Amino acid sequence: MSLAADVVLVAHALFAAFVVAGLPLILLGGWLRWRWVREPWLRCLHLAGIAVVAAQSWLGVVCPLTTLEMWLRARAGDPIYAGGFVQHWLRRLLFFEAPGWVFLGAYTAFGLLVVLAWWLYPPRFRGGATRR
């Protein structure tokens, strides 16, 4: 179960990296005319990712990946929020102590920036025209 919890934690970190790093890459790629940043599947996944995070924050829902990781750790008898090297460093990257309104504002603002990027550099759907 500890290994499964570590896998969930790594998946969580990769998801967060995709959402966070995706926006500057999309903006930079749009400006530099990188074709891959206009792929509809990428842009839809990116928009859906931040939409889920923002919706969870607005609804006061704990991330299911966090819940699953903690459940696996408890089942394994591992201490919660403690463990080996992987857990220690990935948690430091993913979890911050702040009031809920800070996260709500940050996730909402980030989501609005993703929507702005969608408008500035829209994905290129096959068979349809795009603005740029």
Please report, for residues 29, 43, 63, 125, 128, the alpha-carbon distance to residue 17 in angstroms, rounded to integers and kept in the order given: 17, 15, 15, 25, 30
Cα(99)–Cα(7) distance, integer angstroms: 28
Structurally, the chain folds into a number of domains equal to: 1
Question: Within a domain: residue 83?
Answer: yes
Question: Within a domain: residue 131?
Answer: no
Question: Within a domain: residue 126?
Answer: no
Tens-digit pLDDT profile for residues 108-125: 999 999 999 999 999 998
Question: Within a domain: residue 24?
Answer: yes
Tens-digit pLDDT profile for residues 23-81: 999 999 999 999 999 999 999 999 999 999 999 989 988 889 988 988 998 999 987 76
Cα(70)–Cα(111) distance, integer angstroms: 27
Question: Within a domain: residue 81?
Answer: yes
Predicted model pTM = 0.80
Q: Please, what sign has the CA dihedral across residues 19, 61, 93, 84?
A: negative
Q: What is the pLDDT of residue 90?
A: 67
Question: Within a domain: residue 112?
Answer: yes
Q: Which domain holds residue 20?
A: 2-120
* Sequence letter at residue 37: V
Query: Both ends of the chain: CA-CA distance in Å?
Result: 49
Question: Within a domain: residue 130?
Answer: no
Question: Within a domain: residue 132?
Answer: no
